């Protein structure tokens, strides 16, 4: 391997794409070639910056999928060229201009960032769908409980609220019909009424979902009823507005 070849291998060296012999040769060359040594440092900094710009922590699911597929993919053998005597020779690196290598690095990192973003979006959608199924199953379990008790009461502006309580599951489900969507930047928040003026947070009703059955967060415990208030987005630790609804849990 001559000096001209070594000058063209700085990018491959940075990407750890050389075999041990080539890597050792490049490292010996860097000790005597200031320009190549500087080029290696610049390539290393560029690759690091590009990687950090799109870096994202991989999920456990992604790692498991990669490890699963590795076991099923056969690596292609390296391409070799025949010599005049019928033997084989190892392929050598073809000189690549520095600007072309930098462009390839930038393109590879950009495509990797897009792939990571798309995977994360798909993973978020999958998790949201799974959470919705879990919530629906929990609501169905309360409604189908043998000891489920139901009470219905009128709310403001002609709306009607219904609450179902199950002692065996220690859970409650609330649904409202005809309740308008909350004002912009506000949400409907559910509360357990533990008596003595003490209201315990029981979760939020989803945006635009007043007519959807919502499982109250936390156990019913000794609560005698529930309430609904309009709160800032994200909810509050204590009610900050007059109740939209107050329902008393039915007794056994």
Q: How does pLDDT run across 156-215, given as a tens digit for each residue?
A: 767 888 888 999 999 998 888 888 888 888 999 999 999 888 999 999 986 544 456 789
Assigned token pair, 9: 């291998």
Provide the pLDDT for residue 109: 55
Provide the pLDDT for residue 250: 80
Provide the pLDDT for residue 54: 44
The distance of Cα 47 from the centroid of its chain, to the nearest Å, equals: 25
Task: Say which residue, 75 or 127, is predicted with more confidence.
Answer: 127
| Angle, helices 98-144/60-70, rounded to nearest 10 degrees | 110
Q: How does pLDDT run across 74-103, given as a tens digit for each residue?
A: 555 555 555 555 555 555 555 555 555 566
* Whether 96 contacts 8, CB under 8 Å: yes
Provide the pLDDT for residue 213: 79
Q: 167: how many CB neighbours lie within 10 A of its CB?
A: 13
* Whether 197 contacts 149, CB under 8 Å: no
Q: How does pLDDT run across 21-76, given as a tens digit for each residue?
A: 888 888 888 888 888 888 777 766 665 555 544 445 556 666 666 666 666 655 55
> In whole angstroms, what is the distance from residue 59 CA to residue 69 CA?
16
Provide the pLDDT for residue 240: 92
- Average pLDDT of the chain, as a whole number: 74
Q: Is 31 left (phi over 0), alpha (psi -120 to 50) or beta?
A: alpha
Q: Where does the chain have alpha helices with state H?
A: 3-7, 10-14, 20-30, 34-54, 60-70, 98-144
Mean pLDDT across 220-244? 91
The distance of Cα 232 from the centroid of its chain, to the nearest Å, equals: 25
* Whether 36 contacts 6, CB under 8 Å: yes
Provide the pLDDT for residue 209: 47
Mean pLDDT across 101-112? 57
Q: How does pLDDT run across 132-155, given as a tens digit for each residue?
A: 666 677 777 888 888 888 888 887
Provide the pLDDT for residue 228: 92
In this predicted structure, the answer to whether residue 115 has a pLDDT above a threshold of 70 is no
Q: How does pLDDT run across 34-45, given as a tens digit for each residue?
A: 888 887 777 666
> In whole angstroms, what is the distance from residue 210 CA to residue 9 CA?
64
Give, in degrees to the nearest 5, the angle at Cα 81 between 78 and 82.
Answer: 130
Mean pLDDT across 114-140? 64
Provide the pLDDT for residue 55: 47
Q: 172: how many CB neighbours lie within 10 A of its CB?
A: 27
């Amino acid at each position: 391997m001559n000096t001209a070849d070594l000058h063209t291998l700085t990018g491959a060296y940075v990407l750890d794409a050389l075999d041990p012999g080539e890597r050792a040769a490049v490292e010996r060359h860097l000790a005597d070639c200031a320009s190549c040594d500087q080029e290696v440092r610049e390539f290393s900094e560029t690759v690091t910056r590009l990687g950090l710009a799109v870096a994202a922590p991989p999920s456990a699911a992604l790692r498991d999928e990669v490890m699963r597929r590795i076991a099923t993919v056969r690596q292609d053998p390296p391409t070799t060229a025949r010599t005049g005597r019928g033997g084989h020779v190892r392929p050598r690196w073809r000189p690549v201009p520095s600007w072309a290598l930098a462009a390839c690095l930038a393109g590879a990192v950009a495509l990797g960032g897009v792939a990571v973003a798309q995977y994360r979006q798909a993973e978020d959608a999958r998790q949201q769908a799974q959470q919705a199924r879990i919530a629906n199953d929990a609501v169905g379990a309360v409604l189908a409980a043998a000891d489920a008790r139901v009470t219905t009461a009128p709310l403001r502006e002609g709306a009607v609220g219904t609450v179902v309580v199950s002692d065996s599951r220690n859970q409650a489900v609330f649904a409202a019909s005809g309740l308008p969507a909350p004002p912009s930047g506000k949400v409907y928040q559910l509360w357990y009424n533990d008596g003595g003026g003490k209201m315990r947070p029981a979760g939020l009703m989803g945006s635009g979902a007043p007519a959807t059955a919502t499982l109250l967060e936390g156990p019913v415990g000794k609560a005698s009823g529930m309430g609904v208030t309009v709160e800032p987005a994200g909810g509050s630790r204590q009610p900050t507005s007059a109740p939209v609804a107050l329902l008393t849990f039915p007794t056994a």
